[in-house]
Amino acid sequence: MESKKLYVGVGLGFGLVAVLLAYFGNPANMAICVACFIRDIAGSAKLHMAPPVQYLRPEIIGIIFGAMLMAIPRKEFAARSGSSTATRFLLGFMMMIGALMFLGCPLRMILRMGGGDLNAYVGLIGFVGGVLTGSLFLKKGYTLGKAKETKISSGFMIPGFFLVLFVLFLLVPTLFIVSAEGPGSFHAPVIISLVGGLVFGGLAQLSAICFSGSIRDIFLMRNFNRITGVLTLFVVVLIYNLTTGSFHLSFADQPIAHTEHLWNILGLYVVGFAGVLLSGCPLRQLILTGQGSSDAGITVIGMLVGAAFAHNFGLASSGEGTTSFGRIAVILCIVLLFIIAFTNREKRARASR
């Protein structure tokens, strides 16, 4: 299943889901973004009160359960936990802080690039730099340890949490907030969003695709398979934007983006670095959660809390630019990432004695 043909097919599927979600109402250049959509869920559940970004995105639930429905018949669902769980929570938290500095996860970075947003190309520099930094620590023996098998019910806990939120959203919508304006007010119909998420999650589980992992594979193994899927997604989105007149090559006036280049770079540096230390980008964490990993599930909860924290404490960027508190937070995240990377090299240290 490691052939480039598989990844081309997955990239095509990703691209089709993204353009259909955009066509049916999701925000421009944010058709499907893991970080942004988790942030919107946090807002809808009243974990933060930023009015423009509050909506319980069915795509996130769809991705988790799409992965689960693909993993179970393939015998790849396994309840596991215990691999430095608290550290993973913190890494997920920091990954969200970096993503909200840039205004998007690596998936949205590709979508923004396909729409002509030059700020995303600048951010790519930081993302690649973060992945390479993390990869250097992998070569030095970095590890968070192995997860252990646990009770099967544990593997359903975090998916069940998101499922309950979604069911409540459908049955008792007054419990949740939906933005009246801004990105949270733009969304495809629920059924289309859910199906799109299911397809996206199933394809991601089938291919084990990962945005940070694709670059890490090139650096550590000279393996270009997974990057093929990412490039195919970019091409599909680019063609869609060119044919619909939605392609605008510029830095300024891009939807839900800012032009502070240094902070776009550093925000995605945090995301890339944390993604390698976690063995997976934000999308990959959702997929692993659907496969039964409680460690990945706790990482996703860390992202949820990070999104709430970012908006409650003025760390998140906006189309107007970054905040001083956000810049300080990103620098602190970079320092903490190096501390985590340096202090989790036990196996290599023992081997060298």
Question: Residue 119: in which H helix or E strand, if any?
Answer: helix 118-139
Q: Is the pLDDT of residue 220 over 60?
A: yes
Instruction: Check: pTM over 0.75? Answer yes or no.
Output: yes
For 326-343, give one letter per residue: b (16+ CB within 10 A) or e.
bbebbeebbebbeebbee
Would you list the DSSP string of 149-213?
Answer: E--GGGGGHHHHHHHHHHHHHHH-GGGS---SSSGGG----HHHHHHHHHHHHHHHHHHT--HHH
Asked whether the predicted pLDDT for residue 350 surpasses 70, the reply is: no
Q: What is the pLDDT of residue 352?
A: 39
DSSP string, 94-105: HHHHHHHHHTS-
pLDDT at 28: 82
Q: Cβ–Cβ contacts within 10 Å for residue 168, how many?
A: 14
- What one-character DSSP code corresponds to residue 250? B
DSSP H or E stretch at residue 148: strand 148-149
Nearest to 288 by CA among 67, 61, 36, 96: 67
pLDDT digit string (tens) for 16-68?
Answer: 999 999 999 999 889 999 999 999 999 999 999 999 999 999 999 999 999 99
Nearest to 274 by CA among 142, 159, 109: 142
Domain that holds residue 68: 4-351
Q: What's the mean pLDDT in 301-307?
A: 98
Look up residue 93 and give its amino acid.
F
Mean pLDDT for the stretch of residues 145-156 = 96
| pLDDT at 224 exceeding the cut of 80 | yes
pLDDT value of residue 3: 82
Residue 349: the pLDDT is 43
Report the percent of the chain where pLDDT is more than 70. Answer: 97
Cross-strand pairs, 80: 149, 293
Q: Which residues pair with 318 in a beta bridge?
A: 321
% of the chain surpassing 90 pLDDT:
96
CA angle 224, 273, 285 (to 5 degrees): 75
Q: Phi/psi zone of residue 151: left (φ > 0), alpha (ψ -120 to 50 degrees), beta?
A: beta
Domain count across the chain = 1
DSSP assignment of 257-299 equals ----HHHHHHHHHHHHHHHHHTTS-HHHHHHHHHTTBHHHHHH
Identify the burial level of 180 via C-beta atoms within 10 angstroms of its C-beta, where 0-12 means exposed, 13-18 middle and 19 or more buried. Answer: exposed
Position 351 scores a pLDDT of: 42
CB 317 within 8 A of CB 39: no
pLDDT tens for each residue of 65-80: 999 999 999 999 999 9
Q: What pLDDT is attached to residue 4?
A: 85
In tens, the pLDDT along 251-281 reads 999 999 999 999 999 999 999 999 999 999 9
